[in-house]
Amino acid sequence: MDSNIFEVATLTIAWLLGLLAPTIIRRIERKYQASDVGAGIIAEAGHLRYTLALVAFRLRSRLKTFDQPFITWITGVMDSESGEEEDGPTWREAAKKLLALPVAQLNSAAAAQLVPGQVTRPIPYSLPYLESQLGQLHLFPPDLQRRLMSIRYYLTLFNSDVDFARQMFDLTFDPAVMAVNQLVIDKNIESSYKKLAGRAERLAKEIGELIELGVS
């Protein structure tokens, strides 16, 4: 009788394992898939964070709105990302030199490096890998999904502001328009610089929080 009970128990366990095996396999596959997709998202976002930090740096330089917290923050970004970026060392050293100055001298030093008449023409950015993986975001916890969608949303706002700024820049090449509306156009361009600098910094910081949290 004990033999029969053992056989029944063995068959029951085998049956249960047969039922559970696909679920266990799917969970393991899901974990590895989330890890692969997450690594790609983090890598792409890290590059964008670095780029947007430089955008904020260049625009603040032009606007002469540097302060110590900003310089400290961007120096940290340069140290964490610039090793993989071609122009990283140049901007990292520039930020460090500014960081060494008293706050009162930060903006005067930045202004001295500007080229008279030169404009900063912003460009739009994208996260193509994230866009290609939107259907896989269910692999991640709700909070991570929310953070990724927030980054995507604010990048859309940034690009919308870029479009407006570029329209203003294009108008500067039209003598007829500039003869009548130069003050308005110059004001709009200055306002665009301020808005883009703020959006770039905010978005870069939000990406930094995502990187610290991790995606897996």
Percentage of the chain modeled with pLDDT above 90: 29
The fraction of the chain above a pLDDT of 70, given in percent, is 71
As a whole number of angstroms, the distance between CA 204 and CA 108 comes to 25
**Domain limits, the chain:** 2-64+123-213
Check whether 17 has a pLDDT greater than 60.
no
Higher pLDDT, 42 or 103: 42
Lowest-confidence range among 22-31, 78-87, 90-99, 124-133?
Answer: 22-31
Average pLDDT of the segment spanning 53-66: 87
The owner of tokens 């407006």 is 164
- Which residues are CB-contacts of 122 (< 8 A; sequence separation ≥ 6)? 55, 161, 162, 165, 166, 192, 196
Tens-digit pLDDT profile for residues 107-118: 777 666 555 555
At 41 the pLDDT is: 92
Q: Each residue of 152-210: pLDDT tens digit?
A: 999 999 999 999 998 888 888 778 777 778 888 888 888 999 999 999 999 999 999 99
Q: What average pLDDT does the segment 99-128 reach?
A: 73
**Looking up tokens 């709009």, which residue turns up?**
188
Give the span between the Cα atoms of 68 and 99, in whole angstroms: 7
Q: How far is CA 142 from CA 67, 102, 137, 203, in A?
A: 36, 44, 9, 20
* Separation of alpha carbons 32 and 114, rounded Å: 49
Q: Where residue 83 falls among pLDDT bands split at 50, 70, 90?
A: very low
Digit-coded pLDDT (tens) for 36-55: 888 899 999 999 999 999 89
Which parts of 88-174 fold into alpha helices (H)? 88-99, 103-112, 128-132, 142-171
**What Cα–Cα distance (Å) separates residue 138 from each residue in 126, 142, 144, 197, 212?**
21, 8, 10, 32, 20
Q: Which of 13-22, 88-97, 132-141 has the highest mean pLDDT?
A: 132-141
Give 152 or 90, the one with higher predicted confidence: 152
